[in-house]
Structure formats: C-alpha cells, structure tokens
Amino acid sequence: MDLTGIQVAVLGGDDRELILIPELVKMGARVRVVGFPQRPELAGAQLVDTLEEALIGAQAVVMPMPGTDDKGNIRAVYSEKKLELTEKLIRRLPPQTTVIIGVARSFLKEWAVKYRLNLIEIAEMDHIAILNSIPSAEGAIQIAMENVPITIHGSQSWVLGFGRVGKTLARMLQGLGAFTTVCARNPADLARIWEMGYRGITFDQMSEKIEKADIIFNTVPAMVLNKEVLLKCSPEVVIVDLASQPGGTDFEWADKLGIKAILAPGLPGKVAPKTAGKILAQVVPDLIVEGVRQKLERHTISEAT
C-alpha cells in the first residue's frame, strides 16, 4: 500500500496507534499526531499539541476504536490533556474528507452529514469485527482463567450468541477442551453449531439447563442473563460479559446472588494491543487510499460539470 504524500491526522488513541502510526509512516504518509508523548515508535511522525494543528491540511483523519465519550472527548490514554472534538473543528475539514473511527457517537454522525464528510465507522465493518473477535475471545478466556478455580478444559462453558465473537469463542473453548454449549436463536446457526461439534440450544431452553454451567460468556447486547435466568444458575458460575455496555447481565441481581459477573468491553486494545494495532494497520491504509481516491474523483467530476 502506497500512501506517499497523503497527509493523515491521528487524533488520540492507545497502544494500537503505536503500531498503526509507524505503518502509515512506512507507507509514505505524512502523519500528524496529537495525544502522544515522544516515543521511539513515533519517529517519522510529527507530534503536535492540539487538535487544530493536527488537522491542518489533513486529507484523512484517524480516531481511535472507542472513539469519543458523549462529551466529544477523544480517547487518548497517553495524553494528560483532554482532546475535545468540537463542531468548530469538524466544520473546517474540507467536504469529502475521510474520517475513520471505531464507533461514532450520534453528534459526530450528524456533523459528518452536515459537513459532507466521508465518515467510516470501522468497528462494525464485518471483516474488522471478525479479526477483532480473536483478541476479544482470548481476552475473555484469560479473564475466565483468572477468575475460576477450575480449568477451562473439562468445564461446562456456555457461549450466548453465535455472532462474530461467539463463533471465535466457541472454537477456542473447544480447542482448550471445554464442553462447549452455544445458545443461538436461528435454525441455521444451530445447524452450524451442530456441525462444529458444540452442543446447541435455543434461548428458550437456556434457563432449563444453565444450572450446569461453570462459566458463561455473553456476547448478546440484550438483557439475556436477567434475574430469572440468574436464579437458575449455580452460585459458583462465573459470567464474562463481552456485550457492549451496559452488557447483557443484570449485574445487580448477580451481585445479590453472589454470582461473580465481569463486564469486559474493549478487550482487544487491552489484552493484545499489538495484535489489535496490526489489525488497524492492515485495514486503515486501504480506507485512506480509497477515501482520497473517491474525493479526487468527485472533485474531477464536479470540475468537469
């Protein structure tokens, strides 16, 4: 991938960006970075102090996977200063500028429409989400290992949901030697679950059989581990909830019942920042090039007409 001469602004981030930025530099991009101290990895990038400076001349803007909080502060673990994304900043970007972010809050989506930016939310892009399911699943297994007094091998491990993370988790749990049960809704998923050698059950059957579970991994972003279900669980069960906040567990009830339940969002950046950074480095440059190319084309077309 060749980014020669393309001006990229990287706004905030964490260890993943320490992998991504050198890749961008290596591909020839001119990179301005805000939210990081001097570090050997960042040699070749230009470190600046403010979002304003970072955005000067930017043809593409890269923000972190977790994006911003609801006040617009960009996640930036290495920055002592807040990096607040404001409409004022955004509207200075030329139309069609590519803005890459993991997940965008609604205000950012609105601004993108208003100022005709090419906003790309990558966390939900299918191939990125699948690649990220690997560190997520491993992180979940690590958390389980740290919190149960038994081995995963030989345990009754349940996976709720057979989406991108559920598929990866089930395969890894079985690979370690767990008796793996997967809850899923649709018959096609249950057929695949059978093919892959897991025990498949529907959510309807879940509460009947969940008492045998030693570990439950939830990936469903809906209240599936509610009071009724928790009452059926063994008090020694450990729940690892991977669904995006607020998770799919009634944590209050879990607490009352003495059930250990751990909400674990955003695992890739925490447990395997280097792998997660490589995923970004594999995906972001393509999106930048494509974005710049499209902008150019539109520009040419509009000039021609």
290 belongs to the binding site for a second copy (CB under 8 A)? no
Q: Which is nearer to a second copy, 55 or 134 (CB)?
A: 134
Q: Which is nearer to a second copy, 96 or 156 (CB)?
A: 156
CB of 260 to a second copy, least distance (A): 14
Given candidates 80, 195, 208, 303, which one binds a second copy under the rule CB under 8 A? 195
174 belongs to the binding site for a second copy (CB under 8 A)? yes
Given candidates 91, 94, 95, 194, which one binds a second copy under the rule CB under 8 A? 194
Structure tokens at 89: 């900043």
Length reported for the chain = 305
Determine the interface stretch with a second copy among 75-83, 96-104, 107-115, 271-279 (rule: CB under 8 A).
271-279
Given candidates 43, 56, 113, 188, which one binds a second copy under the rule CB under 8 A? 188
Q: Report 20-59 residues binding a second copy (CB under 8 A).
A: none
Return the H-helix or E-strand segment holding 32.
strand 30-34
Strands 156-160 and 215-218, sheet pairing:
parallel
Determine the Cα–Cα distance for residues 9 and 29; give it in Å rounded to an integer.
10
Q: Which is nearer to a second copy, 174 or 181 (CB)?
A: 174
Reply yes or no: is the peptide bond before residue 246 cis, omega within 30 of 0: yes
Determine the Cα–Cα distance for residues 36 and 60; give it in Å rounded to an integer.
18
Determine the interface stretch with a second copy among 21-29, 85-93, 188-196, 292-300 (rule: CB under 8 A).
188-196
DSSP helix/strand/coil, 280: helix
CB of 163 to a second copy, least distance (A): 12
Q: Which is nearer to a second copy, 134 or 160 (CB)?
A: 134
CB of 14 to a second copy, least distance (A): 11
138 belongs to the binding site for a second copy (CB under 8 A)? yes
Determine the interface stretch with a second copy among 35-43, 87-95, 97-105, 121-129 (rule: CB under 8 A).
121-129
142 belongs to the binding site for a second copy (CB under 8 A)? yes
Return the H-helix or E-strand segment holding 54.
helix 51-55
1 belongs to the binding site for a second copy (CB under 8 A)? no
141 belongs to the binding site for a second copy (CB under 8 A)? yes
Structure tokens at 51: 């979002």
The region, left, alpha or beta by phi > 0 then psi within -120 to 50, assigned to residue 19 is alpha
Determine the interface stretch with a second copy among 109-117, 204-212, 237-245, 269-277 (rule: CB under 8 A).
269-277
97 belongs to the binding site for a second copy (CB under 8 A)? no
DSSP helix/strand/coil, 133: helix
Binding positions for a second copy, rule: CB under 8 A: 15, 126-128, 130-131, 133-135, 138-139, 141-142, 145-146, 148-154, 167-168, 171-172, 174-177, 186-188, 190-192, 194-197, 271-275
